[in-house]
Homo-oligomer: A and B are copies of this chain.
């Protein structure tokens, strides 16, 4: 590969870390441009040309620019199918669809309550609304009850191999488990805890956490 791909955004961002973990799993060289959100760099005209909503991450590879972390990850897996972890997003239409339904479950069902909790407990500048926290804890608990059943049947969400479906949960899961008092939602559930311990110890994820420390 002549030119590394470029990812724009701070590694502290959950959506940016999702893309970083994918790039590392796929062994795709990248160049990180750490957009400074506190300086409003994500709202500058040059950046808005790539990411019109003024959010992170944005992404560039040869002639294409992209936004939305899960779309970027799918692209990386498709474009660099033969590199790194070759089964990360499946190896055929059936395995890919099986993984994708759990990526969508992250985006639509696990992500909203866990992302809101991470935001409200760690990154918000306004006082915590306890009723809202409880509402999201209850929502997430119900979701994780179903994960508990599923992970009693298979080692990972989409079967017996680690995939993009598991990876997609790492960014919000990590903050909840390691930086809030809501980690019990994961650790109190036997199968979820086993799964979480295994996926959060992937070398790729440890490298993302290392990048955060050095950011």
Contacts and interface: CB of A to CB of B under 8 A. Distances in A.
B112 A112 contact: yes
Contacts of A101: 66-68, 71-72
Given A53-B146, A71-B101, A96 B108 contact: no
A71 B52 contact: no
A104 interface: yes
A71 B164 CA distance: 13
A150 B71 CA distance: 18
A94 interface: yes
Contact of A63 (B66, B74, B94): B94
A93 interface: yes
B52 A149 contact: yes
B66 A98 contact: yes
A75 B104 CA distance: 13
Secondary structure of the A contact surface, majority rule: helix
Nearest to A74: B100
A104 B53 contact: no
A52 B143 CA distance: 10
Nearest to A68: B104
A51 to B, nearest CB: 10
Given A93-B78, A112-B112, A71 B104 contact: yes
A64 interface: yes
Contacts of A143: 53
Given A67-B101, A71-B103, A107-B108, 17 more contacts: A52-B146, A52-B150, A53-B105, A53-B143, A63-B94, A64-B97, A66-B98, A67-B105, A68-B100, A68-B104, A71-B104, A72-B101, A74-B97, A74-B100, A75-B96, A78-B97, A79-B97
